[in-house]
Chain A
Amino acid sequence: MDIYKSVIGGDKRAIARFISLIEQRSEEAINLLKKIHSRTGNAIIIGITGPPGGGKSSIVNQLAKKLRSKNKKVGIIAIDPSSPFSGGALLGDRIRMQELTMDEGVFIRSMGTRGALGGLSKASYDSAKVLDASGMDFIIIETVGVGQSEVDIVKLADIVVLVQVPGLGDDVQAIKAGIMEIGDIFVVNKADKEGAERLVKEIEMTLDLNPNKNEFRPPVIKTVATTGEGIDDLFVNITRVWEHFVKFDIIRKRRLARAKQELIDIVKENYFDDFFQRYSEKIQDMAEQIYQRKMDPYSASEIIIQDIRKVFFN
């Protein structure tokens, strides 16, 4: 199978295989990623994040159905946590997406976090590119159930949808830093439950306090994902926010920042590893001295950095 050609042609088996190669961090994956790069950047990437059991998968399911009714092709990456003990994972997001399985225009991939702590998996970034190159119009990334500070989704998505549910805390939760700052659209799901109206008001109040609210104020939408209530409203708002972000150059800035961050990460990952390999003996030796209080870690690091400078900038 020529994976490159098949992926460009939208072949699902090829897409699936390519993503597996990315998860294994194989040389072949990197060569393929180089080849597809010029064909990416066309899909709109939507991140769906929020607490466990908040209805993210159900919202993804409904939103994907809505996009399909507009004849848009949808790629979905759904992430669940990997065990820090066994490394295994139970990936259950598909349960809420059963009706999408047989749809020609939908591709769903479940992923374990495999040690990543920001709500995504390492492979999710490059896997989104595969879906993009395969001709998907929209890519939906569903993060793991998050708490307060897993905000990596901002590094990958064009638009972040933050799902909240009533009953999880008081109004101070809404003004805390972290997750509440990353929503481009707020969804109050399970809006038929008690406390939904109050949660909407608390979020609105938080948004009112935002000093930049005149530039862009995230919409707050009520949904009941199990019935599909509010999904039309969500879709309309995604379109609106997208248009606003394009018009005010926000998408370009976000994507440029993403490209920069990615380049830095790749260099770090590949070349810092080389450095550490090169200095592994010295580091071991220094660690011993630091442990015995014969040396402090800051002075030790200066010695290594000076040495690196000598090698690279002499």
Chain B
Amino acid sequence: MIAKKIRVLIAKPGLDGHDRGAKVIARALRDAGMEVVYTGLRQTPEQIVEAAIQEDVDVIGLSILSGAHNFLFPRVMELLKERGVDDILVIGGGIIPDEDIPGLKEVGIAEVFTPWTPTSKIVEFITSNVNK
């Protein structure tokens, strides 16, 4: 038996077409030894949850810049619950106003990373919070 590799799904929910941030994070996690599944732009919450299940990931990272996080993030959490998935760590990032963060955490988003967060901090958060 060999140690489990941390698997992460990086997903872009909603309609904005900017994924430089998502790619930077994906690259940083790759360099930290994780397996990162990147699914591309414009994913519905349904697609994200389905892909996360098939890929058996430990972490879902949601990147969003469109402002629709207050709808899309809770929807992802809701679908995970519906499918009986409670062992995936869900984190978010992008342009998200500080005042929205407590509400997102309330629905189960473990952490929200806003611009200028060093990628090392995200790596650290994942490695210390993921289900091992």
B38 & A102 in contact (Cβ 8 Å cutoff): no
A33 CB, nearest partner CB in chain B, Å: 14
Contact residues in A for B39 (Cβ distance below 8 Å): 94-95, 98, 101
**Hey, which chain B residues are within 8 Å of A83, CB to CB?**
30-31, 33
Whether B50 pairs with A101 at a CB distance below 8 angstroms is yes
Per-residue CB proximity of B19-47 to A under 8 Å, as 1/0? 00000001101111111111110010011
Please report the C-alpha to C-alpha distance between residue A107 and residue B55 in the assembled complex, in whole angstroms: 9
Contacts of A92 in B (CB 8 A): 37-38, 40
Chain A residue at smallest Cβ distance from B84: A13
Residues of B within 8 A of A16 (CB): 53-56
Residue in A closest to B28 when the chains form the complex, CB atoms: A88
**Chain A residues whose CB sits within 8 angstroms of the CB of B31 once the complex forms:** 83, 86, 88
Q: Is B121 an interface residue (CB 8 A)?
A: no
Stretch at the interface among B1-9, B61-69, B103-111: B1-9
What is the CA–CA distance of A110 and B64 in the complex, to the nearest angstrom?
23
Which residue of B is nearest A106, CB measured? Answer: B54
Q: Does A20 contact B (CB under 8 A)?
A: yes
Q: Mark A1-41, 1 if CB is under 8 A from B, else 0.
A: 00000000000110111011001111100000000000000
In the assembled complex, B89 has its CB within 8 A of some CB on chain A: no
> A112 within 8 Å of B by Cβ?
yes
User: A239 vs B5: C-alpha distance in the bound complex, in angstroms?
Assistant: 38
Q: In the complex, how many residues of chain B place their beta carbon closer than 8 angstroms to a beta carbon of chain A?
A: 31
Q: Which of A15, A19, A98 lies at the interface centre, i.e. has the most chain B CB atoms within 10 A of its CB?
A: A98
Taking the closest CB of chain B, its distance from the CB of A14, in whole angstroms, is: 10
> Are B27 and A109 closer than 8 Å at their CB atoms?
no
Asked whether, in the complex, the Cβ of A13 is within 8 Å of the Cβ of B38, the reply is: no
Q: Are A102 and B47 in contact (CB under 8 A)?
A: yes
Q: Given the interface contacts A92-B38, A109-B54, does A102 sit within 8 Å of B33 by beta carbon?
A: no
Question: Is A234 located at the chain interface by the 8 A CB criterion?
Answer: no
Assembled-state Cα–Cα distance A13/B5 (Å)? 18
Write the A101-121 contact mask toward B (1 if CB under 8 angstroms, else 0): 110000111101010000000
A224 in contact (CB, < 8 A): no
Residue in B3, B5, B36, B51 whose beta carbon sits within 8 Å of that of A90 in the complex: B36
Q: Please tell me if A259 contacts chain B, counting CB pairs below 8 Å.
A: no
- Are B4 and A24 within 8 A (Cβ)? yes
| B32 touching A94, Cβ below 8 Å | no
Q: Are B1 and A13 touching (Cβ within 8 A)?
A: no
A101 to B2, CA, bound (A): 29
What are 6 A-to-B residue pairs whose CB atoms are below 8 Å?
A: A16-B53, A16-B55, A17-B56, A83-B30, A88-B33, A101-B39
